[in-house]
Amino acid sequence: MSVAVLVPAAGRGERLGPGAPKALREVGGEPLLRHALRSLGAAPEVDLLVVAGPPGDLAATEAACAGTGALVVAGGTDRRASVAAALRALPPEVDVVLVSDAARPFVPVELVQRVVATVAAGAPAVVPGLPVADTVKQVDGTGHVVATPPRELLRAVQTPQGFARVVLERAHALPAELLVTDDAGLVEALGLPVLVVPGAPEAFKVTRPEDVEAAEALLRRRGAGR
């Protein structure tokens, strides 16, 4: 079994405010992308890391990946296009593919291993998820509540998401007009099952300025622990 991790890193990250592309924002003096690659590559099951950077300007992405062994390719204009570009760059021997956000810098090795093992055991698609603590309301276009889904049936989904390669390739062959927010959504559109495995709190996503503060705090705690 050969395992590759695809990391789309071409997004601007407007919710973080003005500055460098999100993957290149620094935490603890290093880009988020470098932290993410270091965490993902620490899993012994991972054979290859492929990063899809901003098309037309890969120099900064390549610099952030220096020393990680990651292959850098030009991404696309959105996340789906970037994942597809990274997928096309894979060598033929890869049969398990993980997709992970560049803005999740501290994915634990155990989570990577859990996702890989579940795909290897036969699941076509696997996503990590955490139980939802708050009550969630479904609303209509005017803001009126139309349903209250049972909280125990909901999960906040994280990455890395894992797939049998043939399944992910089929999913990305679906029409571009199909709007989804993650690769598992494409697999759902194929009518194939997606299995949820336990996620990890430290695999949080850096999206807003307060998330940068949380990441800095986690780094300080890790430094104190050492």
Determine the Cα–Cα distance for residues 131 and 134; give it in Å rounded to an integer. Answer: 9
Determine the Cα–Cα distance for residues 145 and 137; give it in Å rounded to an integer. Answer: 6
CA angle 42, 48, 49 (to 5 degrees): 75
Is residue 53 within 8 A of residue 62, CB to CB? The reply is: yes
Pick the closest to residue 35 from 25, 44, 45 (CA basis): 25
Q: How confident is the model at residue 192 (pLDDT cuts 50, 70, 90)?
A: very high
* Sequence ranges of the domains in the chain: 3-129+156-225
pLDDT higher than threshold 90 for residue 201: yes
Is residue 15 within 8 A of residue 34, CB to CB? The reply is: no
Per-residue pLDDT, averaged over 54-61, amounts to 91
pLDDT at residue 18 in the model: 66
CATH class of 3-129+156-225: alpha beta
Query: How many residues are there in the chain?
Result: 226
Per-residue pLDDT, averaged over 122-129, amounts to 98
Average pLDDT of every residue of the chain: 95
End-to-end CA distance of the chain: 34
Q: How confident is the model at residue 13 (pLDDT cuts 50, 70, 90)?
A: low
pLDDT higher than threshold 90 for residue 22: no
Neighbours of 138 (CB within 10 A): 9
Per-residue pLDDT, averaged over 35-61, amounts to 96
Pairing relation of β-strands 125-131 and 161-164? antiparallel
